[in-house]
Structure 1
Amino acid sequence: MVRSAEVATPTADTGPAGRLAAAFLLSHSGRTREAYAYDLAHYFDWCARLGVDVLTARRVHIDGYREQLDAEGAAPSTVVRRLSALSGFYSYGMDEELVDRNPVQRVRRPKVGDNVQSTGLSADEAGILLAAAHRHSARAEVVVTLLLLCGLRVSELCGATVPDLSYERGHRVLRVTRKGGRSQTMVVPPRAADVLDRYLADRTEGPLVVTSTGRALDRHAIWKLLRALAADALPHLAHSLHPHDLRHACATLSLEAGASLRDVQDLLGHADSRTTRRYDRARHNLDRSPSHRLALLLADTDPR
């Protein structure tokens, strides 16, 4: 996500709107808080330029803001997220009795297609990337293996620690903190466990993946590492590969390998199966229609 240096943070406003924004953001964490902070800042900046009081804005103002987003060429998913951030902000303000209504409530929102934005990787590309990571370094191999085989979000990998690794019923497992602060224990497949053991050696404390100085590797370093690996092994992805592409590949390739939608949903930590279903690249395959199975079941009842 690109950040504009021209847009101040909403909490830079020390007035009632800025204090409300700061309180609202405290109710979120991680990437959600970061994204909402930027979305509110963008809206606050728009209001300031037009002389609109944030706390007394009405639907006509939000409709105008939505029209401005469209004029700027914002993607439908971006518009939906920004309006969602604003709706949450105003609902929070109503709870705190600082605004009298939510002006976003009935604003028309664009429909977002069924396909996820990232492109993912084919099985061949995933194998090439794993091999490139192995050649590069033990740390690179850990990063790629966990993102690809376990479907971790980059924030989950950055936040994982060595003590989060353990054993459960004969399986190597990793406890990760999902969106919303929910904790989930997930299986680390043997291939990933072997890579981790070689990387960690005798280390038993600290962040799971570290820099040369022992600090946790951050999302920007992981992004740069993946681009470097792609430049070496997948040049057609050298300028586009993103950490989420590996999570996408984990989902799509698992489904193609025969894993059930529910199991992949659990692996990725999706609350709604419809989110997981968007990763099923074969869902539009007409050969998979239940009508075929039903026709076979009823074949003997054909009266002809």
Structure 2
Amino acid sequence: MVAMLGLLGLRIFEACGANIADLGEEHGHRVLKVRGKGGKVVLVPLPPVVARAIDRAVDERDDGPILRNARGARMDRHAATRRLKHLDQTADLRIPKMHPHMLRHTFVILDNLTAHNGKATRAWEDRNRVELCFTPIYAAWANPIEARFRPLRTFVIAGSDRSNHPALLRHLHNYLRWRNANARHPEGLAAQRRERARIRSERQRRWGQSATLAA
């Protein structure tokens, strides 16, 4: 429940109304079909940590609601509030008036691409209770997603001889399926550590300055 509210930004009625049958796959990513306000249906990609949390909640069931209360029935907002208050007391957070809506605020780290700061992006930010956190200019080391790109180039693009873009796209989807199913694979983690080390080594290097002068 916490992962669905906090990491996906779902409303409490959207999370409680989600069924096992709403889980699926699209373009190599696991997705969840969410029914929002006004009956609007959208596909929400599931990060690996959320997918694992949902798998634990489903517990090998084939149908029914994803989230259940202590009696095994569908969880409602009252049961969700009681669960959050219990977690608050267990973790000794001491947050007054703990309720599910507090988890909907999401922070997104992104670079300074012009499209990221447009009117459409800002409108989406306001609608979905999202706060955009821009990294400093020429500071790729500050964006955690940068460490994901090197393994993508290594496993998908490097040494490839694809005849066309659709073939390369299929190979990319295959990698994403493997990556989501093996998020903690030693080979993938090692590649990410190497890329993070390379990016951090450029932290004090000015744009266009050689490595010798920067040192």
Q: TM-score, normalised to structure 1's length? A: 0.38
Higher strand share: 2
- Give the residue type in structure 1 aligned to 2:35: T
Residue equivalent to 1:240: 97
Offset of residue 278 of structure 1: 6.6
Which of 158, 179, 202 is the equivalent residue of 2:37? 179
* Cα distance in structure 1, aligned partners of 2:21 and 2:128: 33
Q: Secondary structure at the match of 1:236?
A: coil
- Give the residue type in structure 2 aligned to 1:275: D
Offset of residue 154 of structure 1: 0.3
* Cα distance in structure 2, aligned partners of 1:276 and 1:261: 15
- The 5 Å alignment of 1:10-159 reads 143-159=1-17
**Structure number with higher relative contact order (C-alpha < 8 Å, ≥ 6 residues apart):** 2
* Cα distance in structure 2, aligned partners of 1:153 and 1:224: 16
Percent identity, aligned pairs only, is 34
Residue equivalent to 2:73: 215
Task: Evaluate the alpha carbon distance shift between residue 258 and residue 163 of structure 1 in structure 2; reply closer, same or farther with a 3 A threshold.
Answer: same
Q: Residue 261 of structure 1 contacts residue 273 of structure 1 at CA under 8 Å; is this kept in 2?
A: no
- Give the residue type in structure 2 aligned to 1:236: R
* Cα distance in structure 1, aligned partners of 2:74 and 2:129: 32
Which of 67, 87, 94 is the equivalent residue of 1:229? 87
* Cα distance in structure 2, aligned partners of 1:273 and 1:150: 14
Task: Evaluate the alpha carbon distance shift between residue 214 and residue 150 of structure 1 in structure 2; reply closer, same or farther with a 3 A threshold.
Answer: same
Task: Evaluate the alpha carbon distance shift between residue 231 and residue 280 of structure 1 in structure 2; reply closer, same or farther with a 3 A threshold.
Answer: same
Q: Report the RMSD for the aligned CA atoms in angstroms.
A: 3.0
Offset of residue 204 of structure 1: 1.2
Structure 1 unmatched ranges of 5 or more = 1-142, 289-304
1:258 aligns with 2:116: no
* Cα distance in structure 1, aligned partners of 2:54 and 2:128: 30
Aligned length: 131
Give CA deviations for 1:204-256 in whole Å, capped at 9, x if unaligned.
1011111243321000110111111112224331x3222111111x2xx22xx
Task: Evaluate the alpha carbon distance shift between residue 148 and residue 228 of structure 1 in structure 2; reply closer, same or farther with a 3 A threshold.
Answer: same
Structure with greater Cα Rg: 1
Higher helix share: 1
* Cα distance in structure 1, aligned partners of 2:102 and 2:28: 30
1:275 aligns with 2:132: no
- Give the residue type in structure 2 aligned to 1:200: V
Offset of residue 261 of structure 1: 6.6
